[in-house]
Structure 1
Amino acid sequence: MASPNNLAPAADENLATHAGWVHLHTPGMRVVDAPDLVLVDSGLPCDTFNIVCRARLAPENASERLRTAIDHFAAVGRPFSWWLTPGNQPPDLGARLVAAGLQCVDSELAMAAELATIPALNSWPSGLQIRRIHTLAQLHDFAAIIASGWSPPDGDVLRFYALAAQALLRDDAPLWLYVGYLDQVPVATAELTVGGGVVGLYNIVTLEAYRRRGIGTAMTVQPLLDAREQGHRTAIL
Structure 2
Amino acid sequence: MDHASVLALFDRDLREGARPDGPGARVERTGGVVRQTAPEHGWNGVLWSALDETDADAAIAEQVAHFTALGREFEWKLYGHDRPADLGQRLAAAGFAPEPEETLMVGEITDLRLDTGTPEGVRVVPVTDRAGAELVADVHEKAFGADASRLRRQLLARLSVDPGTVVAVVALAGGEPVGAARMEPVPGTPFTGLWGGGTVPAWRGRGVYRALVAHRARVAADRGHRYLQVDASDRSRPVLERLGFAPLTTTTPYVYVPAR
| Both structures adopt the same fold (TM-score exceeding 0.5) | yes
Aligned pair 1:155/2:146, yes or no? no
Q: How far apart are residue 199 of structure 1 and its match?
A: 1.9
CA RMSD in angstroms, aligned pairs only: 3.0
**Change in 2 beyond 3 A, CA 1:150/1:204:** closer
**Change in 2 beyond 3 A, CA 1:92/1:68:** same
Q: How far apart are residue 208 of structure 1 and its match?
A: 2.3
**Change in 2 beyond 3 A, CA 1:223/1:16:** farther
Structure 2, unaligned stretches of length 5 or more? 231-260
Distance in 2, matches of 1:63 and 1:166, equals 39
1:137-162, Cα deviation, whole Å (9 max, x unpaired): 22332233334456573433333333
Distance in 1, matches of 2:179 and 2:19, equals 20
Amino-acid identity (%) = 21
Q: How far apart are residue 131 of structure 1 and its match?
A: 2.1
Q: May I ask how many residue pairs the two structures share in their alignment?
A: 226
**Change in 2 beyond 3 A, CA 1:118/1:168:** same
Higher share of residues assigned strand: 2
TM-score (norm 1): 0.78
1:89-147, Cα deviation, whole Å (9 max, x unpaired): 44432222122221222111122222112223344211211123333322332233334
Q: How far apart are residue 234 of structure 1 and its match?
A: 2.0
AA in 1 matched with 2:36:
V
Structure 1, unaligned stretches of length 5 or more? none
2:207 equivalent among 191, 205, 214: 214
- Report if the CA contact (8 A) 1:121-1:218 is conserved: no
AA in 2 matched with 1:130:
V
TM-score (norm 2): 0.72
Distance in 2, matches of 1:166 and 1:227, equals 21
1:165-196, Cα deviation, whole Å (9 max, x unpaired): 32342xx32x3222222213222122222234
Distance in 1, matches of 2:146 and 2:53, equals 42
Which has the larger displacement, 107-116 or 119-128?
A: 119-128
1:64-90, Cα deviation, whole Å (9 max, x unpaired): 122111222323333222211245344
- Report if the CA contact (8 A) 1:147-1:157 is conserved: no
Distance in 2, matches of 1:124 and 1:151, equals 25
